[in-house]
Amino acid sequence: MSFNPDELVLPRPGGAVGSPKSPISGPSEEAFTKTFGALLPPAKFLNTATGKAAYYELLPSSPSDDTNAPHRVLLIHGVQTPALGMLPLARELQTSFPSAHLVLVDLWGHGLSDTPIVPHEAGLFHQLLDDVLDHLEWPSAHLVGYSFGGSLTSGYVASRPSRVQSFTLVAPAGLLRFADFSAEEQDCLRGGDEAAARKWVVEWLEGGELIVPADWEKRGEKGEIVAEAVREWQMREHSGHTASVVAIVRDGGVMDKHSEFTKAGGTSVPVLAILGELDSLCTEQQLNEHGISNVIVVPQVGHSV
C-alpha cells in the first residue's frame, strides 16, 4: 500500500508507545533550488538521534574587537514558513553586525529537515537546538525566535539559561489559551476528524485559504521571498510537513506557555521583544505581565512584523 501523507497523524504526548519508526525524509536541496533558486546559503545537514536536520550559515564578513557585538546568533523560525523566512532578518543583522556568525535552522517537518514520527512537543525542538549548538561547538548563543520560534525560545531560556547570551522574541506565540478557542476548534486540536483538523489548522494559520500570488515566480527571480509559495511547496513536496504543522499547533507550544514566559522573563538573560501593533497573538501588556518589559511595538503592522 502506498504512503498517503494526507493520512499521516503523528503520535500525541502520553499516547501508546509503539516500535520506533524511521522519520519521513525532507525534500532534497536540489528540489528546493530548482523551484526557488539559491536564495539561501548551501544547506548543511546534522544527523541526530531523531532525524536529519538542515541548517544554513552566514559567516562573519569581517573581524571585530567589539566585545559587546553578538558573535553567535541562532535564528528560529515559526510554524509553516521554514528557515528561509528568517533570511531577510538575518541579512539585516549581518549588515549591522558583520563580525557575527549567524545560523538558521529548519525545524522538524519544515524546509529540508525530516519529520520524526514522535510527539511534536516543545522538548523535541529544544533538543534540536541543543544538537545544533553542540554541533557548532557553541557553548551559548544569542537566540532570535519568530512566532512559534519565539515560544520555543522562551521555553529554551527557561530550561537552559546558561546556553543563552540574550534572546529576542519577534511576534511570539505561546500566550494563546486553549480555552479561548471555540468548541469546534478545540475538537480539531484534540484530534479525531483529522481531515477537518488539517483544513482548520492551515486556514487558522493563514487567516483563510492559502493563496499563492500569481506573480510569485517573477518576484522570486528578483530575490524576493514569497512565503505563500514556499508554504505551498512544502505542503506538496514534503510528505511529513502538514502532519508536523498540525502536531506543532496541537502540542508544540503555540498556546498555554505562560509559565515558561514568566520563568524566562525572570532570568538574568537580556531580552528584547518586537511586536506588531495589530497582532492579536501577543500584546505588550501580556509580555509585561510575564516580566518582559523591554518591548518595541511597530505601529500599524500585524503578525508579519
Domains of the chain, CATH where assigned: 5-15+31-298 (3.40.50.1820)
Task: Identify the pLDDT of residue 304.
Answer: 85
Task: Identify the pLDDT of residue 276.
Answer: 95
**pTM of the shown model:** 0.94
Task: Identify the pLDDT of residue 1.
Answer: 46
Q: What is the mean pLDDT of each run of 10 residues along the chain (305 residues)?
A: 74 81 96 92 97 97 71 96 95 94 98 98 98 98 98 98 98 96 95 91 90 91 89 95 97 97 97 95 96 96 88
**Residue-wise burial string across 231-267, b where 16 or more C-beta atoms lie within 10 A, e elsewhere:** bebbbeebbbbbbbbbbbbbbbbbbebbebbebbbee
d(CA 71, CA 68): 9
Task: Identify the pLDDT of residue 2.
Answer: 54
Mapping DSSP to helix (H, G, I), strand (E, B) and coil, where does residue 191 land? coil
Task: Identify the pLDDT of residue 65.
Answer: 65
Helices (H), the chain: 29-36, 87-96, 122-136, 148-159, 183-190, 194-206, 216-221, 227-237, 241-251, 258-265, 284-289
Query: CA dist 256 to 128, 173, 175, 253, Å?
Result: 21, 9, 6, 7
